[in-house]
Chain A
């Protein structure tokens, strides 16, 4: 059984159809890059997978380990192992980062019938994860993402991903707003998460990120459908030629 199967997915947002019969299969251990021009439906795919409201699925299905993912609430999907790294991580004034991390980890464990983490165990995991990503203790003491730079916010996303140990990571334009140094740190964090048990969907507009997170497969998304699939060399081709050819193809 595949980790994730998206079959003929059709999605409407505000009376406009954004996804027009999207098919994608991700097996455990694979990293799939989804590239495409602005407005192709990349972020819509990420949001539909993670359960954001406001997206109306009018056809098709999404299965995680053979189970209907679309029937679940966002928090239930997270507990099943779906993780969305946000393009624009939100600032939550008044909610301490540590409280947030701990609440999230324990909420997922509770749903899976696992015991809550002890304080020392929790602290150890956070410290180790933070050290790998260059996240300072000072950042951990602040409210979630408040006063964080763009790079710090993305590193915080990857820290959450590492702590929550998802089965399926969906990275939505993780490279946006990052300089090259921050990009390397974030990519290293993501690469560290690659494992035979875990699948990843890396959504990006630019090929640059894929120099650091090398995908197994590259898909071109245009007008709500995957119009071409290939290996990592497809990304280089796109970089050289642009998306124009595929936009015509889809039309």
Chain B
């Protein structure tokens, strides 16, 4: 007799089941409810991922997430007031701000002016109108089975739903501002969907922040649909609080001749997971995917990328940099898949870590799965300390030790930041990096 082996539920998994049951009861029945049930069933089958799951090898979420925090209540006036000041990192850049406080869209502190050719809704309002089902479609197959994506699909009730009409040049950049408002350790799930139709152009920024010392949890998902010859500059700025757990999923499908640049800047947060699933669906697309992580203390940041060159003629460049101080840990896993028909693919991936302390750790895992024979693919990985000879050169010119290190670190991440196309955003990120360097002990 074969007994079905049921994995033991952790306290966090039990709490998630309870939260889901409560959330389910409060939501309308119908197609979305069925999708949510299916998503949660998928999550229950796998449970929180452990290091035995290859994609989560270096980020054992079951161990790192000992408890699941209760879902955040709807923001009150005080919470909304905090939302007003959020996203300051981009204060020098004119953007169209959409503010989410504790996972809920707050229209009264968001920009309300209409943008020509751009339709913006909140997911919550779409669900109310019975229109939200599309937002829960998992566009990229690899993401479908991911437990964190399933959990997001089951729990998320709000997010941004944006549609940019064909050939529209969306101005100014759209800024999704996510903020955890208070001292309560709650959890927030958001799910956004951005459709950029053929030939349209947009700069899309998301920033995430919250108070230090509060162990709140964030599960955020963004699905990008990039149409033929469309151009998308996406920047994710993670400035979460020092005790937070932030898990984010980005999925993107990219059309023919389109250009997609996506850059993730991470500074802060106890545990950060950025997982990226992208598929080139149309020929001759250009992708530039990058990231810079500045970590200290015992911070842990994991970027895991699966890039599927499903069709040929596409170019992709991946440049990830991390600066690791104290006992921090930086993880990059990058997998590039080139399908049998994806001839003339040109893919290059580089991951580099700068270790500022003997106790910091860098884990890099590049993977190439190439099934086509006429392609150019390469990957590289480095990890090392600051070059003492370069430091001496600077010090011999009178530049003190700490300032010399700061200059070299700035130079190290500089070429990753250079891939951010929007000048104002790039300057804001460099400024944030300099502040981080200034805070170094």
Contacts and interface: CB of A to CB of B under 8 A. Distances in A.
Interface of A: 50-53, 73-75, 77-79, 83-84, 86, 89-90, 92-95, 99-100, 103-105, 107-108, 111, 143, 160, 164
B400 A107 contact: yes
Most buried by A among B389, B398, B403, B411: B398
B392 A53 contact: yes
B397 interface: yes
Given A92-B408, A107-B400, 20 more contacts: A51-B395, A53-B388, A74-B392, A75-B395, A75-B397, A75-B398, A79-B398, A86-B396, A89-B393, A92-B394, A94-B414, A95-B407, A100-B407, A103-B407, A104-B394, A104-B399, A107-B398, A111-B398, A143-B411, A164-B397
Main secondary structure of the interface of B (DSSP, over half): helix
Contact of A75 (B388, B401, B414): B401
B398 A78 contact: yes
Interface string B390-424: 10111111111101100110111011000000000
Contacts of B392: 52-53, 74
Most buried by B among A75, A78, A107: A75
Contacts of A51: 395-396
Nearest to A112: B398
A73 B390 CA distance: 15
27 contacts: A51-B396, A52-B392, A53-B392, A73-B401, A75-B395, A75-B396, A75-B400, A75-B404, A78-B398, A86-B393, A92-B411, A93-B415, A94-B410, A94-B412, A94-B415, A95-B410, A95-B411, A100-B397, A100-B407, A103-B407, A104-B394, A104-B398, A107-B397, A107-B399, A107-B400, A108-B397, A111-B398
Contact of A164 (B389, B398, B414): B398
A78 B388 contact: no
Given A53-B388, A92-B411, A78 B403 contact: no
A73 B395 contact: yes
A84 B390 CA distance: 14
Nearest to A47: B392
A105 B388 CA distance: 21
B400 to A, nearest CB: 5
A205 to B, nearest CB: 21
Contact of A90 (B393, B398, B400, B407): B393
A105 B398 CA distance: 8
Contacts of B411: 92-95, 143
A89 B394 CA distance: 11
Interface of B: 388-390, 392-401, 403-404, 407-408, 410-412, 414-415
Contacts of B415: 93-94
Contacts of B412: 94
Nearest to A93: B411
A100 B403 CA distance: 11
Given A52-B392, A94-B415, A78 B407 contact: no
A107 B388 contact: no
Nearest to A95: B411
A74 B412 CA distance: 23
A117 to B, nearest CB: 13
A216 to B, nearest CB: 25
Q: Which are the 7 A-B pairs with shortest beta-carbon distances?
A: A94-B411, A78-B398, A108-B398, A104-B397, A74-B395, A94-B414, A75-B395
Contacts of A77: 396
Contacts of A143: 411
Nearest to A77: B396
A140 to B, nearest CB: 16
A92 B390 contact: yes
B66 to A, nearest CB: 40
A108 B390 CA distance: 18
B399 A75 contact: yes
B247 to A, nearest CB: 31
A107 B396 CA distance: 11
Nearest to B392: A52
A164 to B, nearest CB: 7
A94 B352 CA distance: 15
B398 A84 contact: no
B394 to A, nearest CB: 8
B209 to A, nearest CB: 28
Contacts of A160: 397
Contacts of B394: 92, 100, 104
A135 to B, nearest CB: 16
Contacts of A95: 407-408, 410-411
Most buried by A among B388, B390, B397, B415: B397
Most buried by B among A52, A74, A86, A95: A74
Contacts of A108: 397-398
A153 to B, nearest CB: 11
Contacts of B408: 92, 95
A100 B404 CA distance: 10
Contacts of B390: 90, 92
A111 B398 CA distance: 9
Contacts of A164: 397-398
A107 B403 contact: yes
A110 B392 CA distance: 19
Most buried by A among B392, B396, B407: B396
Contacts of B388: 53
A77 B399 CA distance: 10
Nearest to B406: A103
A50 B393 CA distance: 10
Nearest to B388: A53
Contacts of B414: 94
A75 B412 CA distance: 22
Contacts of B404: 75
A90 B403 contact: no
Contacts of B396: 50-52, 74-75, 77-78, 83-84, 86
A158 to B, nearest CB: 13
A103 B410 contact: no
A220 to B, nearest CB: 26
